[in-house]
Structures are given as C-alpha cells and as structure tokens.
Amino acid sequence: MHASPKMKWFVLLFTFVFAIGMNSFRNSFQFFMLPMADTFHADRSLISVSVSIFMITTGIVQFFVGFFIDRFSVRKIMALGAVCISASFLVLPYSPNVHVFSAIYGVLGGIGYSCAVGVTTQYFISRWFDTHKGLALAILTNANSAGLLLLSPIWAAAPYHAGWQNTYTLLGIVMAAVLLPLLAFGMKHPPHVQAPSVKKSYDWRGFWNVVKQSRLIHILYFGVFTCGFTMGIIDAHLVPMLKDAHVSHVNGMMAAFGAFIIIGGLLAGWLSDLLGSRSMMLSILFFIRLLSLICLLIPILGIHHSELWYFSFILLFGLSYTGVIPLTAASISESYQTGLIGSLLGINFFIHQIAGALSVYAGGLFFDMTHDYLLIVVVCIVFVGVSAGMELVPFLDKQKAKETHQSI
C-alpha cells in the first residue's frame, strides 16, 4: 500500500510542527538560563549541570529507542515522549532547588525528548515516504532550527515579562492540549507493514572488529565528538556570551542563527552529493566552524571589539551546525554492513551527547573560574582544527587507491 501523495506531505507538516514543539524544551533553556540561575542563587556551572544530565540521558536512551521502535508502535513511543516533556514543563517551576531542577530537566526531560524526536520522527517519516525521502528527512531535520528562528523573540522576552516559571507552565499546557492531539489525529500510522522485530542473533564479532580496527569509524567518531563538544557550549552559552559582550539585538542574532542553520543543513547534504565525497564535505564543514571560532576569539581576546565579529561567528557556525551528524550517519550507512549500522549510529549519537554534556559543564566551570569564555573557545578551536584535518584522510585514501588502480 502506497501513501497518498498529498497525505504524506500533510503528515510531514504535522510532524515538523510536533518536532518544533518538542525541541522548544531544549532551545528555550539558554534564554532562561540567567533568570533561572538567579532564582536558585546558582552560578553558571551549577545550572549548566541540568543540560549536561539532559544530554547524557538522551545519549543513553536514544541508543535503545531504535530497538524499541521495531517492537512497539513508533507513535506510542512519541506519545510517551510528549507526555514526559509536558510533565517536565509543568513540574520544573515547583523545583525547591537547583539540584531537583537538574534532575527533573535532565532525566525526565531527557527521556521524553529521546522518545519524542530524533530517531522516532526520522523513522516515522521514512516509513511514509517511498520517494522524495531524502528531501523529506532534510526538511524534518531543520525543525529544530526553524523553531529557533521562529521562537527566539518569544524566548528572549518571556522570562523577563512573564517569568520563566509561568512560561514553562504555559508550554506544558500547550504540549498536552495541542501537540498530543496533533500526534493522535494528524500524524497517522504510515501505510506500511511494521518492520520485523530485532534479530535475536547479533554479529558481536563483526561489531567489535569495526569498533577496534576501522580507521574510518575512529575518524568519524572523533569528528562527532568535536561536533557535540562545540555545539554543546554554543547551545547553552551563546546567549550569555552575547549578553556579556553587550551585543545589541540578541534575539535578532539568534533568529538569524536559526536561519543560517537551516540554509547550512540543506546545502551540506546537497553539496556532499555533488562532490561525491562525505569526507571532503565533513572537512569543509569543520574548516568553516574553525573560521567561526576564530571570529569569536578575536573580541574575547580584546584584539578588536565589534558586533560584526559575533555576527560573522553566527553566520559561519550556523552554516556548519547541522551538517556533521547527517553526513556522518550517511557515511556509516554506506560503509558498513546493514546488521551493524543501528549499533554504530547509536554509539555515534551517544558520543555526540556525551561530548556536549562535557562542554556545557566545562563552559560554565571555566567561566566561573576566569569570568570569560576564552579557555573553552581555545579548546574548541583545537578540536575543530584536528577534525578538519582528520576528515580529509578517508578522501585522500580513496584518491590514492584510485591512482594506484589506474596505474595498474
């Protein structure tokens, strides 16, 4: 049975809106970070622990979600996630201290987020689309960025006009009253037979051989670590960075950041197909990210103070923001046997989240120690520079192999 040409696009639209709503749990945090820290009389490193726990939880839970999808309805898993996110929003304003807040946000919110979006929504849409699947998944991937673009002005104003507690309560009600019915009535079951359950036997020997011996997987995983580390610090600390630098129109810059993320994500996928090399495109993305961090470093060092440096950072970092994860996933799926891809992608996501958790906490800790973000930005520059070079290795290996084959 094939999906109606019109129906599948409506389902994609509903899923896109659903994903924007679920991602608001993560995207709104950096706008509420300073007011929440004031409420709990906590420093930035302590309030950042909640994001670190959230990223660790999502990394662990997402690893197993893919296996659950084959055994249970994907829509039920997404509904469970939406309920957990809604409950988190409603309970967090009543947290008695920052430690309880971090536990609720990190664990309950992390479980909800892992079940609601990511693996589940990607799987759900891929089951709806037999054709135009790549375009559909590319559009869905940009739901997070679209939410940042559209909702940044609201997140920027809400904690100072309504208070973060009232804003969280309202978001919890919206999740339960709007997005759950949207899932139930708009995001219909895909017109495909459910995939067979997970195989009982697993090629553990093949898995360990790849993890221990494959240079490609080591390069890809290091790149994913770098991506997660640099994204984590920016996701949690960019707004405080801009406010510390007295940058005007922060909400406008954040909206522009979301727009550049969307453009960069779509361009990265298209250019990787055009170049015919995932590795080359990954190297280009890390080089662009390196330039962005250098732009951020210049005003931090006091070399030249201008908002243009921060805008240049937002432009370049935004263009490199979303491309690494899908291109790494594509490289893994094209390079290894089918029975190992799920596990390798699970580890891929786990590494990304662990790296993000480390950088979020390290960024807050270094700021509390030095009262600036210089040290963490330098660490990011080192990681990104190394990754930009390493990602070229598979491309150069293929070029060398081609030359050797032609000479023979």
Contact 342, 66 (CB under 8 A): yes
Place of tokens 């129906």: 7
- Is the sign of the CA dihedral 149, 93, 171, 86 positive or negative? positive
Q: Report pLDDT for 94.
A: 94
Question: Residue 175: which residues within 8 A CB-CB, separation 6 or more?
Answer: 21, 22, 82, 85, 86, 89
Give residues with Cβ within 8 angstroms of 404, minimum separation 6.
none
Angle at 335 between CA 333 and CA 338, to 5 degrees: 50
Write down the pLDDT at residue 351.
87
Q: Give how far Cα 136 sits from Cα of 8, 35, 83, 131, 181, Å.
A: 10, 38, 26, 9, 22
Q: Which domains does the chain have, with CATH numbers?
A: 1-189 (1.20.1250.20), 203-407 (1.20.1250.20)
**Residue 246, phi then psi, degrees to nearest 5:** 60, 40
Cα 372 off chain centre by = 25
pLDDT recorded at residue 352? 85
pLDDT of amino acid 298: 93
- Tell me the C-alpha distance between 30 and 337, whole Å: 40
Per-residue pLDDT of the chain (408 residues; tens, 9 = 90+): 455 677 888 888 899 999 998 998 888 888 888 889 889 988 877 888 888 889 889 878 887 876 676 567 778 889 999 999 999 999 999 999 999 999 999 999 999 998 998 777 877 777 777 666 656 766 777 887 788 778 878 888 888 888 899 999 998 998 889 888 888 888 887 765 444 444 445 566 777 888 888 889 999 999 999 999 999 888 878 888 888 888 888 878 887 887 888 888 778 877 777 777 778 889 999 999 999 999 999 998 888 888 899 999 999 999 998 888 777 877 776 777 756 666 777 777 788 878 988 888 888 888 888 888 889 999 999 999 999 999 998 887 777 766 666 665
